[in-house]
A and B are shown apart, each in its own frame.
Chain A
Amino acid sequence: DAGVIQSPRHEVTEMGQEVTLRCKPISGHDYLFWYRQTMMRGLELLIYFNNNVPIDDSGMPEDRFSAKMPNASFSTLKIQPSEPRDSAVYFCASSRRGGQGQPQHFGDGTRLSIL
């Protein structure tokens, strides 16, 4: 079975530009999570969806960040406008229903560099 697929793997862009990160969860998984990883703050949950509906977005740092899940097989995380402090590795993860004990399966991440 295919794992969680993220694109692009690397993104380098200039400050002020719009950035869109993409994620395809594992088929059949009901939960989708977006994380950000930095040296200073470690891994932080930004937002998660259940059945395409955003459940908890309390980790989204600012209004410049938005996430959508238009269908069960696709989600985007958008930053507009981007800033250098947004540079990080962004992970998407998914899990099946069945409670919090279900492990979250991670994609390979997108390394984002804002110049």
Chain B
Amino acid sequence: AQTVTQSQPEMSVQEAETVTLSCTYDTSESDYYLFWYKQPPSRQMILVIRQEAYKQQNATENRFSVNFQKAAKSFSLKISDSQLGDAAMYFCAYIRGGSNYKLTFGKGTLLTVNP
């Protein structure tokens, strides 16, 4: 079974600084997708960024970017110029290609942004 591990239960960053959240996953598949979701205190799950395993180029979305290391099975999220609104729980998630649509989530990392 696929597993997703987020080794940092909590992280903190100063406003305007950069922070990196770690995620590793275990799979024997070659075709899969990886996601980062953000869950602020409002509880809503918001997609932050998506990465296709077959793409070597790291995905970016404005201040958010990933470092995807396929051989190492690592998928970290970098938040640049951190803002107070970035404070949330961040979840890394994996889904394999093929016919099954099961999205597997990590346990999450709680990010605090200090003013």
Contacts from A to B (Cβ < 8 Å): 31, 33, 42-43, 45, 48, 50, 55-56, 59, 89, 91, 93, 95, 99-101, 103-109, 111
Contact = CB atoms under 8 A, between A and B. Distances in A.
Contact of B102 (A45, A91, A109): A45
Contacts of A108: 42-44
B103 interface: yes
A101 B44 contact: no
Interface of B: 32-33, 35, 37, 42-47, 50, 52, 91, 95-98, 100-108
Given A56-B102, A100-B95, A101-B50, A89 B43 contact: yes
Contacts of A99: 97
Contacts of B104: 45
B43 A42 contact: no
Contact of B100 (A56, A104, A106, A111): A56
A9 to B, nearest CB: 9
Contacts of A50: 101
A56 B97 CA distance: 15
